[in-house]
Chain A
Amino acid sequence: MKIRTEQFNELAAVEIDKARARPFLKMVPEFMYRIRNAGMPTLPDPPAAQKYAAAVRAEVVSRLPDLLEEFERNATANGAKVIWARDAKEANDFIVGLAKERGVKTVIKGKSMISEELGLNDAFKANGIEPWETDLGEFIAQQMDLPPFHIIAPAMNITVEEVRDCFMDKAGMKTPTVDPVELGYAARVFLRDKFHRAEMGVAGVNIAVAETGTVINVENEGNIRFSKSAPRILVSVMSMEKCIPTMQDAVDMLRVLIRNCTGQRISAYVSMESGPRKQDELDGPDELYIVILDNGRSQIYQDEGVREVLRCIRCAACVNICPVYRQIGGYAYGGAYSGPMGQTLMPLLFGLDRTKDLYRACTLCGACASVCPAGIDHPKLFLTYKAKDVQGDPQFRTGKRPAREAIAFKLWGMGVASSRLWNLGARLFRPFFNWNAHDGKVSSMPGPLGAWFRKRDLPKMAAKPFRDRWEDIKRRKP
Chain B
Amino acid sequence: MHDVSLFVPCAVDLFLPEIAESTVTLLRRAGVDPVYHKGQTCCGQPAFNNGYRKEAKRAAKHFIELFGDDEVVMSPSGSCACTIKFHYPELFQDEPEWFRRATELAARVYELTQYLVDVLKVDDFGAAFDGRVTFHESCHNLRKLGISAQPRKLIAGVKGAELVPMNQEEFCCGFGGTFAASYADISESMAQDKVENYLASGADVLLLSEPGCLLNIGGYLSRAHPHKKAMHLANFLTENMKEARS
**Residues in chain A within 8 A of chain B (CB atoms):** 9, 12-13, 16, 19, 323-324, 327-328, 360-367, 369-370, 383, 385-391, 401, 405, 409-410, 412-419, 422, 426, 441, 443, 448-452, 454-462, 464-467, 469-470, 473-474, 476-478
Is B222's CB under 8 angstroms from A366's CB?
no
- A360 x B182 contact (CB < 8 A): yes
Known: A328-B186, A466-B21. A390 touches B50 (CB 8 A): yes
Q: How many residues of B contact A (CB 8 A)?
A: 68
Q: Choose one: B42, B181, B192; the contact of A422 (CB below 8 Å).
A: B42
Task: Indicate whether B116 reaches chain A with its CB closer than 8 angstroms.
Answer: no
The 0/1 profile, CB within 8 Å of A marked 1, for residues 134-178 of chain B is: 000001100110000000000000000000000000111011110
Contact (Cβ within 8 A) A409 B14: no
The answer to whether A470 and B38 touch (CB under 8 A), given A383-B51, A409-B55, is yes
Binding site for A on B (CB under 8 A): 8, 12-17, 20-21, 24, 28, 33, 36, 38-42, 44, 46-55, 58-59, 61-62, 139-140, 143-144, 170-172, 174-177, 179-193, 215-216, 218-220, 222-224, 246
Given contacts A405-B50, A409-B47, A412-B46, contact A367 B171 (CB under 8 A): yes
| Residues of the B chain whose Cβ atoms lie less than 8 Å from the Cβ of A19 | 189
Residue ID in chain B nearest A411 by CB atoms: B55
Contact B180 A452, beta carbon cutoff 8 Å = yes
Q: List 18 A-B contacts (CB under 8 A).
A: A327-B189, A361-B182, A365-B143, A365-B172, A366-B144, A367-B170, A391-B53, A416-B62, A456-B216, A458-B15, A462-B16, A464-B17, A465-B13, A467-B8, A467-B13, A467-B38, A473-B21, A478-B28
Find chain A residues with CB under 8 A from B33 CB: 477-478
Tell me whether B181 and A449 are in contact (CB under 8 A).
Answer: yes
Given A12-B186, A413-B55, A454-B188, decide whether A469 and B17 contact each other with a Cβ distance below 8 A. yes
Beyond A361-B183, A422-B41, is A458–B143 a contact (Cβ under 8 Å)? no
CA distance A14 to B92 in the complex (A): 42
**Contacting residue for A386 out of B50, B139, B171, CB 8 A:** B50
Taking each of A16, A387, A391, A474, which has the highest tally of chain B beta carbons within 10 Å of its own beta carbon?
A: A387
Residue of B nearest to A359 (CB): B51
Bound-state CA distance A449–B184 (Å) is 10
The 8 closest A-B pairs by CB, nearest first: A363-B176, A386-B51, A413-B55, A451-B184, A456-B219, A365-B172, A390-B51, A365-B139
Task: Give the interface centre of A328, A363, A454, A477 by most chain B CB atoms within 10 Å.
Answer: A363
**Contact check: which of B59, B180, B184, B193 meets A416 at CB < 8 Å?**
B59
Q: Are B20 and A466 in contact (CB under 8 A)?
A: yes
CA distance in complex: A370, B137 (Å): 14
Contact B139 A367 (CB under 8 A): yes
Tell which of A365, A417, A456 has the most Cβ of chain B within 10 Å. A456
CB <8 Å contact, A363 and B62? no
A452 touches B181 (CB 8 A): yes
Q: How far is the CB of B68 from chain A (nearest CB, A)?
A: 15
**Is B172 a contact of A415 with CB atoms below 8 Å?**
no
If the complex has contacts A363-B172, A454-B188, A462-B17, are A416 and B215 also in contact, measured as CB distance less than 8 A?
no
The interface centre, meaning the residue of B182, B192, B246 with most chain A CB atoms within 10 A of its CB, is: B182
